Amino acid sequence: MTRHIYTREAIEIATFLTLSVRTTIKVISSAHHHMGAAFSQSSPRIMSPAVKSKVDKAIADNKIAVFSKSYCPYCKQAKNTLSQLGIKFYVLELDEVDDGAQIQDYLQEKTGQRTVPNIFINGQHLGGNSDLQTKKSTGELEKLLA
């Protein structure tokens, strides 16, 4: 009889331990899964300080800076519009440089805009081509460049 109770208790303890271990494994693997998702979304690559300073310098040193892609029709229209104004402007074609993808990541971090063209005037973020065209038609662009 006494032996029987011990056996039952031993089984209960063993069952409890097995379930605890299983739950712990589930919790750990679920946390790991979530952590992986969080990391891959928030930091796809480590931002290089050289990329940041290159972009910030281009924006600071030029009255107009355009981050572009050579094949992009919106970029072509933006560059044509700016050319017609007769002002020299800085252009960087992100598809033609090795660090183009990193520059695009940094521009997104800096401005919330991932698309090109990404245009800056007087060190201020202006937006994309549609923003440029709107500002041109309202006369705001002329004022910014005066």
Ligand X SMILES: N[C@@H](CCC(=O)N[C@@H](CS)C(=O)NCC(=O)O)C(=O)O
Q: Which of 55, 64, 116, 126 contacts ligand X by CB under 6 A?
A: 116
Q: Name which of residues 123 to 142 contact ligand X (CB under 6 A).
A: 128-130
How many angstroms separate the CA atoms of 4 and 48, rounded?
A: 68
Nearest-approach distance from CB 23 to ligand X, in angstroms:
43
Answer yes or no: are the C-beta atoms of 116 and 104 closer than 8 Å. yes
Among 48, 81, 111, 115, binds ligand X (CB under 6 A): 115
Task: Assess 72 for contact with ligand X (CB under 6 A).
Answer: yes
Listed in sequence order, the residues at least 6 apart from 72 whose beta carbon sits closer than 8 Å to its beta carbon are 116, 117
Name the residue nearer to ligand X (CB basis): 23 or 80. 80
Q: Which C-beta is closer to ligand X: that of 72 or that of 82? A: 72
Count CB neighbours of 106 within 10 A: 19
Residue 126 in contact with residue 100, Cβ under 8 Å? no
Residues in contact with ligand X by the rule CB under 6 A: 69, 72-74, 115-117, 128-130
